[in-house]
Amino acid sequence: MLSTLGRQTFFPRGIIAQTAEAKEKAKRFNATIGMAFERGRAMSLPCVAAHLGDLSPDEALRYAPVTGLPALREEWKRKNLRDNPSLEGKPMSLPIVTSGLTHALSLAADLFCEPGDPIVLPDKIWGNYRLTFALRRGADIRTYRFYDGNGFNVAGFRECLASAGRARGKVLTILNFPNNPTGYAPTRREADAIADALVATAHEGVNVVCITDDAYYGLFHEDDVCTESLFARVSGAHPRLLAIKGDAATKELYVWGLRVGFLSFGVGGCPHDSPIYGAIEKKVAGAIRAVISNCSMASQQVALKALRSPSFEAERREKAMLLKERAQEVKRVLANPRYANAWETYPFNSGYFMCLRLKNITAEALRVRLLDRYGVGTIATDEYDLRVAFSCIEKEEIEELFETIYRAAMEVT
């Protein structure tokens, strides 16, 4: 399943490895790492240290290990197991810290995507996938319709996955739920069917690399939504099925600018203590070292302290409920029949977003009108699809927002 770059990538026995050895054994003098110390602590400028809050210079300013703070990695794995009870007993590596989820996806692309490899994606995706997998790695994008009626198009996914896999003997896919831009996550029945399709393709002799992009995990607004990551359903499900989980503190801890992401692996046929996980970790470490060296120490410390806080789960539930209330208000407002001549509302049940399918005008024309005349920002994701991030809008402002979108749509029409 590895790309040529993935097969060649290694973690060098250079400065980082030698410094790690010195940290354990150099009790008298440690003259290895390129940092400056003063009286045994990380040297810092007072004008910097004054803004570190509760973090000491040692906590915030030192280099972090290439694969991330060990304590943070352990804590994130514990959180994932709490969130996904069915993962218990299934193969799952210790998460590796990345510089945000985009970096995690980029690492997965570098290590597992060879030019020409088919990657199966729905027709409604986060546009950065094209840069990461098609532009940078030369993947051959194969698409299927995201929706089938009011739900996920499982049959279209299954057919596209099988067809692409048979053509090359290998196929990649990204499952992004809750989805950006639609705000849709599968029901439990749909999640089971998606996992069955992946296993069926692997059973045909195809090497399947399944990447779950869990950027908006935990933001579920309806009762019938599958509240576990699809990683929990596919990890260890088949020897030819590699499960890769990309997730992040970004939305789960509401720390967008801290850029703390994670990359976890579940290898079919390999228990959690298999040496293959150490081999994969070294390859990921080599890929991190080659590009950014390591991730922000201060950001990791903040994330770690938050995860260890006794109030973390309660605070997390409170913010998720706030977004759920906004989503419910969007549904209430959009139930107004007067909007039917302007758009259809795509089904949504989770995440930050929802999309309108415009009837008589293009999304770009409406987006520009909203921006220029009303000072309202939206995103045109397709010729007729307009994405609205209700996560940005207070509940009491939602009705005014859609009234303004409707008014502008009528003017453009």
* pLDDT tens, residue by residue, 112-125: 999 999 999 999 99
Read off the CATH number of the domain in which 375 is found.
Answer: 3.90.1150.10
160 and 220 co-located in one domain: yes
pLDDT value at residue 24 = 73
Same domain, 321 and 185: no
Q: pLDDT of 72-98, one tens digit each?
A: 999 999 999 999 999 999 999 999 999
**CA 35/CA 270 separation, integer angstroms:** 39
Domain count, the chain: 3
Give the tens place of pLDDT for each residue, 313-360.
Answer: 999 999 999 999 999 999 999 999 999 999 999 999 999 999 999 999
Q: What mean pLDDT do residues 134-148 have?
A: 98
Same domain membership, residue 11 and residue 113: yes
DSSP assignment of 14-32: SHHHHHHHHHHH--S----
Residue 374 gets the label, from left (phi > 0), alpha (psi -120 to 50) or beta, of alpha
**Residue 265 CB neighbour total at 10 angstroms:** 23
Alpha helices in 255-359 (DSSP H): 275-291, 297-308, 312-334
Banded pLDDT at 199 (limits 50, 70, 90): very high
* Domain boundaries, position 44: 34-58
255 and 127 assigned to the same domain: yes
Same structural domain, 46 and 109: no
Query: What is the pLDDT, as a whole number, of residue 61?
Result: 95
Question: Do both 340 and 247 map to the same domain?
Answer: no
Domain co-membership, 223 together with 361? no
Helix axes 398-412, 312-334, angle to 10 degrees: 40
When pLDDT is averaged across residues 161-183 and rounded to a whole number, the result is: 97
Quick check: 125 and 15 in contact, CB under 8 A? Answer: no
Say yes or no to pLDDT of 182 above 90. yes
Task: Answer positive or negative: Cα dihedral of 267, 270, 276, 281.
Answer: positive
Of 308, 339, 359, which residue constitutes the final position of a domain? 308
- Quick one: 162 and 190 in the same domain? yes
CA distances from 408 to 233, 375, 376 (A): 44, 11, 10
Residues 320 and 236 in one domain: no
* Residues 249 and 398 grouped into a single domain: no
Q: Is the overall model pTM greater than 0.85, yes or no?
A: yes
| Whether residue 230 is found in the same domain as residue 268 | yes
Q: What is the DSSP annotation of 346-379?
A: PP--BSSEEEEEESSS-HHHHHHHIIIII----E
